[in-house]
Amino acid sequence: MTATEAPPGAPAPKAEPLAVRTPPARKRLVPYWLLLPGLLWLLVFFAAPLVYQASTSIQTGSLEEGFKVTWHLATYWDALGAYWPQFVRSVSYAAVATVLCLLLGYPLAYLIAFKAGRWRNLVMILVIAPFFTSFLIRTLAWKTILADGGPVVGALNALHVLDVTNWLGLTEGHRVLATPLAVVCGLTYNFLPFMVLPLYTSLERIDPRLHEAAGDLYARPRTTFRRVTFPLSMPGVVAGTLLTFIPAAGDYINAELLGSTDQKMIGNVIQSQFLRVLDYPTAAALSFILMAAILTMVTLYIRKSGTEDLV
Amino acid sequence: MTRTAPPHRSGGDVRLEGISKTYGSFTAVHPLDLTVPAGSFFALLGASGCGKTTTLRMIAGLEDPTTGTVALSGQDVTALPPYKRQVNTVFQNYALFPHLDIHENVAFGLRRRGIKSVKKPVEEMLDLVQLGPMARRRPQQLSGGQQQRVAVARALINKPEVLLLDEPLGALDLKLRRQMQLELKRIQTEVGITFVHVTHDQEEAMTMADTVAVMNGGRVEQLGAPADLYENPASTFVANFLGTSNLIEAEVVTADGEELLLKAGDAALRLPARRCSAPARPGGKVLAGVRPEKVTLAHADDAGSLPGGRNLLPARIKDAGFIGVSTQYVVTVPGLGELAVYEQNIERDGRLIPGADVVLHWSPAHTFGLDAAQDIGAGADLDEEAA
């Protein structure tokens, strides 16, 4: 863009004496200058790799002979055919973890927003505190917590909780590690703050007088929650579920560290295709399929929840 | 849930007995007895922080009283949560539900009580507040005055025994406020519900209410009809908070019979004994008060031709402000300080300009007497502060 170019829609300065004075060109360009660093960043680190990956996904060849663009779209079909169970698993693990995050996070966010009083900041810090440690370390800690013969598994066995989860198909035998339960627990734990923070923000914005007004208008506390608080917190629910579901669906650390080969998610497949099998076209195609799947689900979800002020 | 009984057609009375509220070591409301008769328009008037809103919230059930009881129509409701009380509140900033349209906001109370056919009553109520065409809009698409009327409609549709109004006009500009005052008064007369109105605006309280309770520091200073409070204030706070008062420190000379004879500076003033709320004995001090509009100014040259039997004070005009219907003078009385005088602009005397020597005169019957032990300036600047 050159400096003399006017932004679209800006009226060109006219010779008429009564015309509204247009700000000088430099001033009009300020928004564009402010956008520039971010745009450059996006271009170099998002748009360019995306185009590169798109081209990779339609290439054929091998590492020794080199890859060439041959418009081989069948890679997509083959990848989907071979790895659809991992796709289904990713979506269902992420969905269960999202629901668990919502069930755990909503009461927590509600407490911080309305009941914590002077403890509010402390509880907020406790929610954010895990971020001070690396994601990897925290997940490894879960490996220790859930280790076979550890106190957690011992307690769950003693309380016959594992019998229930076995029956549900979440665990197998007398262990938690290397089962779907462990992966879902890890996902839930790791993404809980992403649920709590937007929920808290939207709950905190609700005028407490609306609760009083509802009570004054014959709504019992439960009805007040159902008719006033929850609907008003919907932007937070939508934002929180998206911020949890999207990264959880593409996550591979939890499945890698807490699961076995039977709990591999699509993220694990993409990772191993890129780094171990070195089948770049399949890895790229899988990435695009995952992206398309998430975009479709998110679009449907947002349209369904009718929250326009989210995006 | 047991549905609340169908509301009464007309208002109920409110009886507060020994009700108080303390927050830690701070007492917001001192033990208070108050009866609001059924069907009346009652105003709680006071500056911010005087306990009027806390009192209102205790009636609504939004605040638990520390001591005392709240009774509505003879029934003790102290232990009932708000949703079981036959009262509705118009909140200070309306507290309309932003996620519901106007129709649903107004229907909210009816739906919570399990009433199925809400369409007709809601439409009628919206017509009453002249918002019929706005039914499908969201609150944030309405102007302040319209939102205020929605808040009134949302409360009134439940036909409560008592309607509580918490500074309902505070967010409106002056002109709209005057208009809404008359509107609310009209609605109250029409529906016959008891209104308890909290305000810091003394003019608003006097225009609308049948009975005004002036609150200060968590206590009711005085309670009565607006004209009665204005003419016979019982404390310096009421005298200064409701309109403007000239308060003159005076010494009691004689205190027998119908009239007290006072000495203020060099002047002698007369005060009807029944209008003196302070104990008066010869040699003691009282504050003699008179409203600025009751005082007439005469140029010093005409002092000889004044009618007899009036209270007289020689003074000098310090300042004169012409405001159309009247002229407001500030005069200096030697030894007594500054007094205010409001003169109707009927026959203006061209000699009454700043610097002129004048005589203030007024009928002794317009003088009131207050206890001199009080702070003479109490409540004087609070109205402006709160507004």
- Predicted confidence band at A244 (pLDDT cuts at 50, 70, 90)? very high
CB contact under 8 A, B83 and A213: no
**B20, burial (CB in 10 Å: exposed 0-12, middle 13-18, buried 19+):** buried
* CB atoms A217 and B98 under 8 Å: no
Looking at CATH, the fold of the domain delimited by A83-310 is given as: MetI-like fold (1.10.3720)
Query: Which phi and psi angles does A160 have, rounded to 5°?
Result: 60, 25
Q: Tell me the per-residue pLDDT of B9-64, one tens digit each, with 9 for 90 and over.
A: 467 899 999 999 999 999 999 999 999 999 999 999 999 889 999 999 999 999 99
Span B244-386: which CATH code? 2.40.50.100
Report CA-CA distances (Å) from A7 to A16, A25, A290, B241. Answer: 21, 10, 36, 59
Q: List where CATH 2.40.50.100 sits in chain B.
A: 244-386
Verify whether the Cβ–Cβ distance A217 to B81 is below 8 Å.
Answer: no
CATH of domain B14-231: 3.40.50.300
Q: What digits encode the pLDDT tens for the residues B274-326?
A: 898 888 888 889 999 999 999 999 998 888 888 888 999 999 999 999 988 99
pLDDT tens, residue by residue, A129-167: 988 889 999 999 999 999 998 899 999 989 999 989 898
Q: With beta carbons less than 8 A apart as the criterion, state whether B69 and B144 touch.
A: no
Of A220, A231, A232, the CB nearest to B83: A220
C-alpha to C-alpha distance for A105 and A17, rounded to whole angstroms? 61
Selecting from B1, B89, B108 the residue whose C-beta is nearest the C-beta of A220 gives B1
Contacts of A218 in chain B (CB under 8 A): 4, 83, 109, 112-113, 158
pLDDT digits (tens, 9 = 90+) for B194-218: 999 999 999 899 999 999 999 999 9
Whether residues B83 and A215 touch (CB distance < 8 A) is answered with yes
A214 inside 8 A of chain B by CB? yes
Chain A residue numbers with beta carbons less than 8 Å from the beta carbon of B83 are: 215-220
Cβ under 8 Å to A: B residues 280-319? none
Q: Do B98 and A232 touch (CB under 8 A)?
A: yes
Which of B215, B269, B244 is CA-nearest to residue B56?
A: B215
Report the interhelical angle of A280-305 vs A48-57 (nearest 10°).
120
Q: Residues 6 or more apart from B373 whose CB is under 8 A from it?
A: none
**pLDDT value of position B348:** 78
B154 close to A (CB below 8 A): yes
Closest residue in B to A211 (Cα) is B95
| Domain residue ranges in chain A | 30-69, 83-310
Residues from chain A that touch B88, judged by Cβ atoms under 8 A, are 216-217
Residue A15 has pLDDT above 90, yes or no: no
More confident residue, B222 or A66: B222
**Mean pLDDT value of segment A173-197:** 93
Query: Chain A residue closest to B115 (CA)?
Result: A218
Binning pLDDT at 50, 70 and 90, where does residue B5 land? very low
What's the pLDDT at B321? Answer: 92
Q: Chain A closest CA to B371's CA: distance in Å?
A: 42
DSSP per-residue string spanning B83-115: GGSSEEEE-TT----TTS-HHHHHHHHHHHTT-
Cα within 13 Å of Cα(B86), Cβ side:
24
pLDDT tens figures, A73-89: 999 999 999 999 999 99
The HSE-up count of residue A9 (CA atoms within 13 Å, CB side) is 0
Strands B311-322 and B357-362: antiparallel
pLDDT at residue A19 greater than cutoff 70: no
The alpha-carbon gap from B124 to the nearest alpha carbon of chain A, in Å, equals: 19
Residue range B231-263, pLDDT digits in tens: 999 999 999 999 899 999 999 998 877 888 999
Amino acid A22: pLDDT: 66
- Asked if B88 is an interface residue toward chain A (Cβ–Cβ < 8 A), one would say yes
User: Measured between CB atoms, which of A209, A218, A223 is closest to B91?
Assistant: A209
Q: Nearest-CA neighbor of B257 among B243, B273, B241, B235? A: B273
B329 vs B321: CA distance, rounded Å:
6
- Residue B103's contacts (CB-CB under 8 Å, 6 or more residues apart) are B122, B126, B135, B136
Q: Does B240 touch chain A (CB under 8 A)?
A: no
Query: Tokens 């019929």 — which residue?
Result: B132
Residue A205 sits at the chain B interface (C-beta within 8 Å): no
